Structure 1
């Protein structure tokens, strides 16, 4: 076949191009158009060039303007737009459970303390221990998901979570309550890190904002509406109904996930075109599709094509059988850019969670609200989280396109993007440098407003503003972490989750004492000023982050060369 005709898309009939693609995949045709020799199959998705062979040409998205078109360029993922929408919905719902479970029984704490004849302080320990495990569990599950696959990790976490909820609904002692809350946290907390890993599997940096936004909404919305749901259930059905409710909804989610959610890990399925090597890693839909494809390949005489996919799956199998090591996440904190971004995420979560934890006490004392009405006061925070998640995703993608156009770089929406030489740190941090001061501006006056006992609308407006800006910051910085460590997104997200949960847990444990000792106004002023000082970390990352990333890539390249030699 003539090389010029292969390259000229408009002069080659569709059936001949498809025949050429099939010959490449089956191993009968050349995979290197320059040297005309076969190259061994490799699980890694290469950086797109004009001479790269296709891994897949399937996509429902329109070709972005300004993109250099290559007829055989590999796409980032073969999942169609409806499939990716379903995947994002599932991971958003999955990420919802961990923060929801942490705060859903806030209104029921006095009732639980009365039943067990203990103090509310001892019941508050169940919140602290929950947040400790909430930070630790993802360091295990995140690594497990990156190496073994997303589906096995999700199934394990929700099986543990479901069992813990049933136990919490039926237990009759304080010790059992404390222990089962730890188990509940361990089961649900890994879903956040796993969710961000799934986003990196199916979305390129150019379009990551619109997919990451809904996932972030689930994480930030749950603490806001959790107390409202818990207050309703505890008031009308008793506090045990809270855990029965969580058991029912998580069990329903697990059934749907098991049947329909596909495996997305690029270490297992590549761009999604390689069937998982083990049946238990597949969804029911993937299992049927793999069997149908195998029969079709055999019927059409394409056995070598299927064998190549099988060989790639065997390579993935060798890479995924690793015992999850929680220290893998902690080690990432040695990287200067990762440490700076994670520390600022933790500061943001500190101010956010301390404000949420103090609302029942402060609003009850100032405005005389009962448990149910206090729960309703969390709704502005939830509404802000929803608006921020979706609007901020569009802002992220717009700023990425703006920088790509400014630097005259191709805008890769369908294909894997090499970010070497691209200032992704500046692209992501520019909006954060606008939102972060607004977080402090709405947080610092919160205590003074309550001390003056102004109209309820004023603190609710401050809540909305602070939540909107904080969710936007968290969303953008989480995306930046994935851009910095694209080969292990769940692991770096787990490291972030570890630090932010432990810092926020410490804050919620001492906020009541700080309010009493410092006064409401000075307490929020002090925490707000700490957040302002932390903003200086972002300027450091903005200026030197790209250089640190380049140094890390050089070290990695040198290590690989040393191992090969």
Structure 2
């Protein structure tokens, strides 16, 4: 078969291999053909990229890992995801001592909390982009090192300015798993299994803000606030140890890229030899043409030599250049404006903000009304942690069950067409939050707030990941950004709001907003399939 040519450009060639319908990537450094003049140009510098179908299934590790190994990987990722929310709240009971130690103003101390939370929302936009270009493992390792170094710096710092800067870097290191973790779950689990995996992974984000004040209260009262950061250093070091020795690369796209690069390295000598042989065959063919005949065997060998040697040369390179870094980095921002992402994350973002509203105001309220000590204030967060854990676990189970039940009744057996069924458990959380926010029993209230947040979170995040599986890290970073905006703003608003209208009316407003957020879920359940396919 003769090569397919482009007459408009003599240096751009796409060659079709004999007995094959695939288009291969052919560098014009191998050949360039102009059929009008039979002019042949060899060994130029440019490369012609002809797209071909990309099948990542052979490189996926879903079927290559045992169930226990998969869950251990999710545990490692969840542990790193746990560090972000844990570090945001663990020293809240020690804020007064930190202020006295640095002789800082209230504004500066509040900046150590708000800057951390806002950075926790922004950083995943970068980490998600890096993970899609360089892999999950590289991102986890880099983030763990940054977190460890900055946390040690926080423990040793002696000025409020340095402390704030190190808190920002600590947040950068702690933020990676918030976005990349969803991509790891997509790499390891099929669509009907992700609810449980997402529930375990998101458990860290839910119980971190709750367990933080408990640990922080005890450590601050008996050891001092600096030991809070030494504890975080120990947890960060343990996480880094697990990542280094037990966390493999899970991205099928990155594994394919590495496999092609390895194959290219081993075939370099063969490729050079093939180029030389192709050049010799071409010269023989040219001689035959000039003598008035055509050597078909030499011509066919020439064509096959170009196609087969060229494909191995450029396959790995074409993969890495198919999507520009700039295009990838703005992908999460684009997701923030998609109706499905906005509406699916609205109830969760609001619920997460409500939880931080309570977390930020609880120490002052309990110390002012009940004269509780630092560790007693920390213990009051325990009920919320129990509620969060129960909500995340149960909603993951119910989410998978709802999807599987809908899929069984669907004659077409198309799980992607029924993804909106995952959102059904969110109604339990939306109903629970406004009821308990008006409750008069504190510990029942706080435990059920956690339960409500857990029920809202897991189905929401699993749904958007299933909707955009090929961009799971980017879509989760967009959702994380919306969540952290809410969580960062409510602690700033809470003191002024409570001072102006009191606890009762503040909780009433939150309860009303929680009920109204149900309209988002109702809209997605009716129009989500259409929006996802636009």
Question: Scaled by the length of structure 2, what TM-score is found?
Answer: 0.77
Cα separation, partners in 2 of 1:312 and 1:215, compared to 1, 3 Å: farther
Tell which structure's C-alpha radius of gyration is larger. 2
Matches within 5 A, 1:124-273: 124-269=110-255
Per the alignment, residue 107 of structure 1 pairs with 93
1:191: Cα distance to partner? Answer: 1.5
Matches within 5 A, 1:541-560: 541-551=524-534
- Structure 2 residue 436 is matched with structure 1 residue 442: yes
Cα separation, partners in 2 of 1:87 and 1:320, compared to 1, 3 Å: farther
CA distance in 2, matches of 1:339, 1:248: 37
Per the alignment, residue 356 of structure 2 pairs with 353
Residue 403 of structure 2 contacts residue 415 of structure 2 at CA under 8 Å; is this kept in 1? Answer: no
Instruction: Decide which of 470, 478, 481 is 2:453's aligned counterpart.
Output: 470
Residue 160 of structure 1 contacts residue 184 of structure 1 at CA under 8 Å; is this kept in 2? Answer: yes
Residue 90 of structure 2 contacts residue 213 of structure 2 at CA under 8 Å; is this kept in 1? Answer: yes
Residue 430 of structure 2 contacts residue 517 of structure 2 at CA under 8 Å; is this kept in 1? Answer: no
The 3-state SS of whatever aligns with 2:425 is helix
Cα separation, partners in 2 of 1:313 and 1:326, compared to 1, 3 Å: closer
- Structure 2 residue 322 is matched with structure 1 residue 328: no
Unaligned runs of 5+ residues in structure 2 are 1-18, 25-51, 264-310
Residue 140 of structure 1 contacts residue 324 of structure 1 at CA under 8 Å; is this kept in 2? Answer: no
Residue 121 of structure 2 contacts residue 175 of structure 2 at CA under 8 Å; is this kept in 1? Answer: yes
Per the alignment, residue 423 of structure 1 pairs with 418
CA distance in 1, matches of 2:340, 2:317: 35
Residue 388 of structure 1 contacts residue 471 of structure 1 at CA under 8 Å; is this kept in 2? Answer: yes
- Structure 2 residue 71 is matched with structure 1 residue 85: yes
CA distance in 1, matches of 2:465, 2:23: 29
Q: Which moved more, 1:398-407 or 1:112-121?
A: 112-121
Per the alignment, residue 58 of structure 2 pairs with 55
CA distance in 2, matches of 1:174, 1:133: 18
1:234: Cα distance to partner? Answer: 1.4
CA distance in 1, matches of 2:410, 2:254: 34
Per the alignment, residue 538 of structure 1 pairs with 521
CA distance in 1, matches of 2:463, 2:111: 34
Q: Which moved more, 1:206-215 or 1:36-45?
A: 36-45
Per the alignment, residue 387 of structure 2 pairs with 384
Cα separation, partners in 2 of 1:226 and 1:43, compared to 1, 3 Å: farther
Residue 351 of structure 1 contacts residue 528 of structure 1 at CA under 8 Å; is this kept in 2? Answer: no
Q: Which moved more, 1:484-493 or 1:320-329?
A: 320-329
CA distance in 2, matches of 1:534, 1:545: 16
Residue 43 of structure 1 contacts residue 312 of structure 1 at CA under 8 Å; is this kept in 2? Answer: no
Matches within 5 A, 1:446-465: 446=439, 449=440, 458-465=441-448
Residue 196 of structure 2 contacts residue 393 of structure 2 at CA under 8 Å; is this kept in 1? Answer: yes
Per the alignment, residue 483 of structure 2 pairs with 500
CA distance in 2, matches of 1:82, 1:309: 37
Deviations 1:337-360 (A, max 9, x none): 122123332212111111121111
Instruction: Decide which of 360, 367, 370 is 1:367's aligned counterpart.
Output: 370
Residue 140 of structure 1 contacts residue 325 of structure 1 at CA under 8 Å; is this kept in 2? Answer: no
1:255: Cα distance to partner? Answer: 2.2
CA distance in 1, matches of 2:375, 2:315: 56
Per the alignment, residue 493 of structure 2 pairs with 510
Per the alignment, residue 563 of structure 1 pairs with none
Deviations 1:221-254 (A, max 9, x none): 1110001111122122211111111122212211
The 3-state SS of whatever aligns with 2:336 is helix
Cα separation, partners in 2 of 1:419 and 1:43, compared to 1, 3 Å: farther
Per the alignment, residue 22 of structure 1 pairs with none
CA distance in 1, matches of 2:62, 2:315: 17
Cα separation, partners in 2 of 1:367 and 1:43, compared to 1, 3 Å: farther
Cα separation, partners in 2 of 1:183 and 1:546, compared to 1, 3 Å: same
Unaligned runs of 5+ residues in structure 1 are 1-35, 47-53, 57-73, 280-289, 291-307, 411-417, 450-457, 552-565
Residue 154 of structure 1 contacts residue 191 of structure 1 at CA under 8 Å; is this kept in 2? Answer: yes
Per the alignment, residue 48 of structure 2 pairs with none
Per the alignment, residue 9 of structure 1 pairs with none
Deviations 1:511-558 (A, max 9, x none): 01111111000011112211211221111111111111122xxxxxxx
Deviations 1:465-518 (A, max 9, x none): 121121121111000110111111110111111111012111111101111111
Residue 149 of structure 1 contacts residue 268 of structure 1 at CA under 8 Å; is this kept in 2? Answer: yes
Deviations 1:65-97 (A, max 9, x none): xxxxxxxxx995432212211111111101000
CA distance in 2, matches of 1:258, 1:75: 19
The root-mean-square deviation of aligned C-alpha atoms, in Å, is: 2.8
Instruction: Decide which of 484, 497, 506 is 1:523's aligned counterpart.
Output: 506
Residue 161 of structure 1 contacts residue 186 of structure 1 at CA under 8 Å; is this kept in 2? Answer: yes
1:320: Cα distance to partner? Answer: 7.8
1:276: Cα distance to partner? Answer: 5.6
Residue 193 of structure 1 contacts residue 494 of structure 1 at CA under 8 Å; is this kept in 2? Answer: yes
Residue 61 of structure 2 contacts residue 252 of structure 2 at CA under 8 Å; is this kept in 1? Answer: no
1:393: Cα distance to partner? Answer: 1.8
Residue 147 of structure 1 contacts residue 267 of structure 1 at CA under 8 Å; is this kept in 2? Answer: no
